[in-house]
Amino acid sequence: MKYRKYIAIAFIGALFLPLLSAKAEKTPVEKFNIKSIVFVEQEQEEAFDFDTADYLPEEFNAYDSNESVNSLNFIENDVIDLGFDTTDYLPENFNPYGK
């Protein structure tokens, strides 16, 4: 039984021997100049079916840096009806805003 294993291992090893002596084919390296690429910029104007000024604040300037995230007004709705009592599923004295 041991001899069969050794013969099988030697046969499989003999099958992989040509792979060890194989040489990779060298392909010529072509130098590429990135500056040879021509960039064509296409100007596209967005066509809206409505006047966008009706939906923006007065004197709105998208490029003005005075606007910030802090100037946004968030509407908070503290009461949400889920259809069941959530206190049955939360620990005692649960405070989602506490640390």
Q: What is the C-alpha to C-alpha distance for residues 76 and 97, in angstroms, rounded to an integer?
A: 14
How would DSSP label each residue in 17-84? HHHHH--PPPPPPPP--GGGPPP-PPP-----SS-GGGGS-TT--TT-TT--GGGPPPP-------SS
Residue-wise pLDDT tens digits, 23-42 = 777 777 788 888 888 888 87
Low-confidence ranges of the chain (pLDDT < 50): none
Residue 66's pLDDT is: 65
pTM: 0.23
Residue 63's pLDDT is: 78
Residue 65's pLDDT is: 66
Residue 67's pLDDT is: 59
